[in-house]
C-alpha cells in the first residue's frame, strides 16, 4: 500500500509530499521533505499507522532540500538512506549544499528548510542506475533520470514510479510545469529522461509536487512541451543579455498568466509557487543557455 503524506509546506496543502510504502518488513519512505516540515511528516506517518522510528529505509529522488532535507534525521534514528552517487558526498558533508542554498534564500533558510546535518557514511548507500533493492516482499528499482538535476533518481515499485521532479509539478487539476532551478537544468537530458519514464510504461506516477498521476502519456507530453516553451521563452533574453532583474518579473507574469488561463485560482497559484518558485527558473534556464553557448 502507498500512502501520500502531505507535508503542508509553508502552511499550504498539496505542495510537498513524501510517500510511505508498506512492505512485509515495515514501511519505507520515499522523499523526506525539508527538515522544517519534519513534525508534520511525523504526524502523517502516525496518521497511517506507523512511527518515524519504524522507517528503516529512505529513498531520495535527489538531494534538493525540499526532497531530502530531513534525511539526516532518519539516519540519526538508524535508517539507511539511498541516494544517487552524485548526491552522496553532499549528504555526507552538506556544507557546500547549504552554502549554495544560503546564497539563494539568505535569511529565509531556517523558515523554509530548517536544519541540515551530515549523514554518516555507514548510513548512506550510493545507488547505480537500474539497481534493484529488496525490502521484504517489495522490489525497488532505480532509474537515473537527469535533466532537472544530475543526481536525480526515479524509483520504481511494481507498476508505480516515484518521479521526484523529473515528471514536473502538477497541483490537483492544474497544468504540469517544469521546475528549473540552477545549476543542473539540461533540456536534452530531461527529454531523454521523460522518454525513459514513458518506456517504463507505469500505471501511476507519483509527484513530490503533488500526488498521483494516471494519464501518463498526456502528462509527460505536456511536460516536455512546456519545458521547451519555457526554454525558448528564455533564449532571446539570454541572447540579448537582459538583466535578470528585468527578466524575473516578466517570467513570473508569463507563468502566472499561463496557470490562470488553465483554471488555477489564487490558492492554487500559492501552491504552485511554494512547490516551484518561478523566479528560480529564471536563473536555471539562463544558466542552461549559457552552458549550451560555451560547449
pTM of the model: 0.96
Q: In what order do the strands lie in the sheet with 211-213?
A: 132-135, 138-144, 153-157, 160-162, 204-207, 211-213
280 conformational bin, left if phi > 0, alpha if psi -120 to 50, beta if neither: alpha
Please give the Cα distance from 46 to 69 (Å, whole number): 20
Q: In the structure, what pLDDT confidence band is assigned to residue 148 with cuts at 50, 70 and 90?
A: very high
Residue 69: give its domain's CATH number. Answer: 3.60.15.10
Which pLDDT value is given to residue 107? Answer: 83
Residue 241 maps to a domain: no
SS3 for 58?
Answer: strand
Q: What pLDDT score does 109 carry?
A: 87
Pick the range with the lowest mean pLDDT from 79-83, 218-222, 290-294.
290-294
Average pLDDT for 117-146:
98
- What integer pLDDT is reported at residue 243 of this predicted model? 96
- What is the distance in angstroms between the CA of the first residue and the CA of the last residue of the chain? 46
Can you give the pLDDT at residue 105?
A: 85
pLDDT of 156 > 80? The answer is yes
**Residue 7 belongs to a domain:** yes
Strands 17-23 and 26-30: antiparallel
Collapsing DSSP to helix, strand or coil, 59 comes out as strand
Per DSSP, 133 falls in state E
pLDDT of residue 130: 98
Residue span of the structural domain in which 206 resides: 2-223
- Indicate whether 117 belongs to any domain: yes
Say if residue 286's pLDDT is above 90. Answer: yes
Q: What is the pLDDT at residue 102?
A: 84
Residue 121 predicted with pLDDT over 70:
yes
Whether 244 is in a domain gets the answer: no
Q: What's the pLDDT score for residue 63?
A: 97
Give the tens place of pLDDT for each residue, 5-61.
999 999 999 999 999 999 999 999 999 999 999 999 999 999 999 999 999 999 999
Domain contains 68? yes
Q: How far apart are CA 49 and CA 215, in angstroms?
A: 30
Each residue's pLDDT tens digit, 226-245: 999 999 999 999 999 999 99
Residue 93 domain flag: yes
Give the whole-number percent of the chain exceeding pLDDT 70: 100
In total, how many domains does the chain have? Answer: 1
User: For all residues of the chain together, what is the average pLDDT?
Assistant: 96
Q: What is the pLDDT of residue 104?
A: 81
pLDDT score for 295: 67
Within a domain: 262: no
Residue whose C-alpha is closest to residue 129's, from 200, 231, 37: 200
Output phi, psi for 2, to 5 deg. -110, 130
Asked if residue 257 is part of any domain, the answer here is: no
Amino acid at each position: 500500500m502507498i500512502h501520500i503524506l502531505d507535508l503542508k509546506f509553508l502552511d499550504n496543502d498539496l505542495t510537498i509530499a513524501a510517500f510511505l510504502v508498506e512492505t512485509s518488513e515495515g514501511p519505507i519512505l520515499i522523499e523526506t521533505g525539508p527538515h522544517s516540515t519534519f513534525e508534520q511528516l511525523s504526524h502523517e506517518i502516525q496518521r497511517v499507522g506507523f512511527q518515524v522510528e519504524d522507517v528503516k529505509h529512505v529513498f531520495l529522488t535527489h538531494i534538493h532540500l525540499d526532497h531530502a532535507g530531513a534525511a539526516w534525521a532518519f539516519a540519526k534514528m538508524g535508517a539507511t538512506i539511498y541516494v544517487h552517487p552524485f548526491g552522496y558526498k553532499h549528504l555526507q558533508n552538506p556544507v557546500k549544499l547549504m552554502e549554495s542554498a544560503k546564497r539563494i534564500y539568505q535569511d529565509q533558510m531556517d523558515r523554509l528548510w530548517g536544519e541540515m546535518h551530515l549523514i554518516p557514511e555507514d548510513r548512506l548507500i550510493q545507488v547505480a542506475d537500474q539497481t534493484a533493492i529488496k525490502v521484504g516482499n517489495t522490489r525497488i528499482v532505480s532509474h537515473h533520470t537527469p535533466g532537472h538535476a544530475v543526481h536525480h533518481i526515479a524509483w520504481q515499485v511494481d507498476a508505480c514510479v516515484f518521479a521526484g521532479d523529473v515528471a514536473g509539478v502538477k497541483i490537483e487539476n492544474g497544468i504540469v510545469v517544469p521546475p528549473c532551478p540552477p545549476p543542473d537544468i539540461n533540456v536534452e537530458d530531461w527529454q531523454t529522461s521523460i522518454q525513459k519514464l514513458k518506456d517504463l510504461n507505469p500505471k501511476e506516477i507519483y509527484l513530490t509536487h503533488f500526488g498521483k498521476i494516471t494519464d501518463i502519456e498526456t502528462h509527460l507530453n505536456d511536460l516536455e512541451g512546456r519545458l521547451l516553451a519555457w526554454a525558448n521563452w528564455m533564449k532571446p533574453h539570454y541572447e540579448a543579455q537582459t538583466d535578470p532583474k528585468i527578466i524575473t518579473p516578466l517570467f513570473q507574469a508569463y507563468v502566472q498568466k499561463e496557470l490562470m488561463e488553465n483554471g488555477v485560482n489564487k490558492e492554487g497559484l500559492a501552491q504552485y509557487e511554494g512547490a516551484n518558485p518561478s523566479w528560480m527558473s529564471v536563473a536555471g534556464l539562463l544558466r542552461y543557455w549559457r552552458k549550451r553557448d560555451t560547449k
